[in-house]
Amino acid sequence: MFVNGVEQREGEDYTVEDGYLVFNRSLAQEGKLGFWRWALILFGIAGTYRKHEVVDVQYTLNGRPTVATGLQVETKGD
């Protein structure tokens, strides 16, 4: 389990509850950009500098190592 390339440890950084990974801190992902934000980026007027954490999970499936990258982050209650 990695967040932004940094290994996370079960029990220390997260737990598994009902098939979900539950972190002991909040993770931030930038939402979809609207038309005007895209236009500003396109013309080089502005960039996007919001916090965006990427979650990657490395696991074994049928004896083969597998990686799921860029997983969706949900907050409790979503």
CA dist., res. 55 & res. 29, Å (int) = 10
Residues 12-55 pLDDT 10s: 988 888 888 888 887 766 556 677 666 776 777 766 666 667 78
The yes-or-no verdict on residue 10 having pLDDT over 60 is yes
The verdict on residue 57 lying in a domain is yes
CA dist., res. 47 & res. 33, Å (int) = 11
Q: Which pLDDT does position 38 carry in this prediction?
A: 62
Q: Which pLDDT does position 32 carry in this prediction?
A: 65
* Domains held by the chain: number: 1
Domain that holds residue 46: 2-71
The verdict on residue 53 lying in a domain is yes
The verdict on residue 77 lying in a domain is no
The verdict on residue 76 lying in a domain is no
